[in-house]
Amino acid sequence: MAVAWSEKASSMEALSLSPPMSPPVILTQDELKKIAAYKAVEFVESGMVLCLGTGSTAKHAVDRIGELLRQGKLNNIIGIPTSKQTQEHAISLGIPLSDLDSHPTVDLAIDGADEVDPHLNLVKGRGGSLLREKMVEGACKKFVCIVDESKLVKHLGGSGLALPVEVVPFCWKFTADKLQNLFKDWGCIARLRNDGKGEAFVTDNGNYIVELYMEKEIGDLQVASDAVLRIAGVVEHGMFLDMATTVIVAGELGITIKNKH
Ligand SMILES: O=C(CO)[C@H](O)[C@H](O)COP(=O)(O)O
C-alpha cells in the first residue's frame, strides 16, 4: 500500500517540518527513519508487550513510545529490549521493561533493518544485536520493520554490505573459514568485525561477529540459512526470513506500507 503526501504530512507535523505544499523539502536519511518510526508507533496500543528494537531507526520509535507514555496517551506498556543499548535508553525514558522469560508472547515488535527484499526478508545485525533481535522478534505476533528507502534491495546481500553472523569467540577463525568455504561459489570473503579500536567487536552475548561479503546473489535463502546454522561455532545469522509482517518504508515520495500476504 502506498501512502503519499497526506500520511507524510501527519508524520512531518510530528517532526515539526514545513508542510508539504511549501517548496520541496529534501529530507535527510535520519528524518526518513524518524517518519517510518513514528508511523509504526501508531500500531502501538495501551497494554501491549512490545519488542524494542536496536539501531538509529528503532531509537526514534523508542523515543516516541517514551513520549506518548509521558503524555499519558499510552499506558501499561511493557518493553522487551533487544540490546543493552536499547535497555539503557528505555530505562532513561521510564519505559517499564521485562524479558522473554516473564513475557514469552510479545504483541508487537518495531525494529529497523539493514536490507529488505521484495518478499519482506531482512538482513539485520549490522548494529550487532541480531541474536537478541531474532529471539524477541521471533516471539512477536506482529513485527513491523521500519526503514528508509535506501534499505530496499532486490535480493539479500544486494547492498554489497555485510551479512553478519554471530559466532563464539573460541577458534573464531576456524568458523570464519568454514563460512567462507560454504559460500565459495558466491565469491564470499569472511571478515571479523572490529570495534573501531583495533579489537574484535564483542556482542552483548560475549560473542564475535563474522561479516560475509558475497559477490553474487545468495539464491535459496532458507537453504543458506540452514547451512550456516549447521556449522558448529555459529550462534545465529542476520537473515530474518519470513519474520516481518509489515515493512514501513519512508522515502522522498512518502510512506509505503508493505504487508506480508
Ligand atoms: O539490526 C539492527 C541492529 O542489530 C538494526 O536494526 C539495523 O542495523 C539497522 O540499523 P539503523 O536503523 O541504524 O540503520
How far CA 216 is from CA of 116, 124, 154, 185, in Å, comes to 17, 19, 12, 9
Active site residue 133: yes
Distance separating alpha carbons of residues 65 and 75, to the nearest angstrom: 10
C-alpha cell at 151: 534499505
pLDDT of residue 217: 87
Cβ–ligand 1 distance for 148 under 6 Å, the answer no
Burial class of residue 28 (count of CB atoms within 10 Å of its CB; 0-12, 13-18, 19+): exposed
pLDDT tens, residue by residue, 74-99: 999 999 999 999 999 999 999 999 99
pLDDT at residue 18 is higher than 60: no
pLDDT of residue 19: 55
pLDDT at residue number 24 = 72
Say what the ipTM of the complex is: 0.98
Backbone angles phi, psi at 199, to 5 degrees: -110, 165
Higher-pLDDT residue of 127, 172: 172
53 lines ligand 1 (CB under 6 A): yes
> Quick one: average pLDDT of 38-56?
98
Q: What is the reported pLDDT for 195?
A: 96
What number does the ligand 1 atom closest to the CA of 33 have? 12
Question: Hey, what domains does the chain have and what are their CATH numbers?
Answer: 2-153+242-259 (3.40.50.1360), 163-237 (3.30.70.260)
What is the structure's pLDDT at 144?
A: 98
pLDDT tier, 13 (very low <50, low <70, confident <90, very high otherwise) = very low
Q: 212 vs 70, 103, 142, 189, CA distance in Å?
A: 42, 34, 29, 6
Q: In percent, how much of the chain has pLDDT > 70?
A: 91
Q: Please state, rounded to an integer, the average pLDDT across all residues of the chain.
A: 92
Closest ligand 1 atom to 57 CA: 12
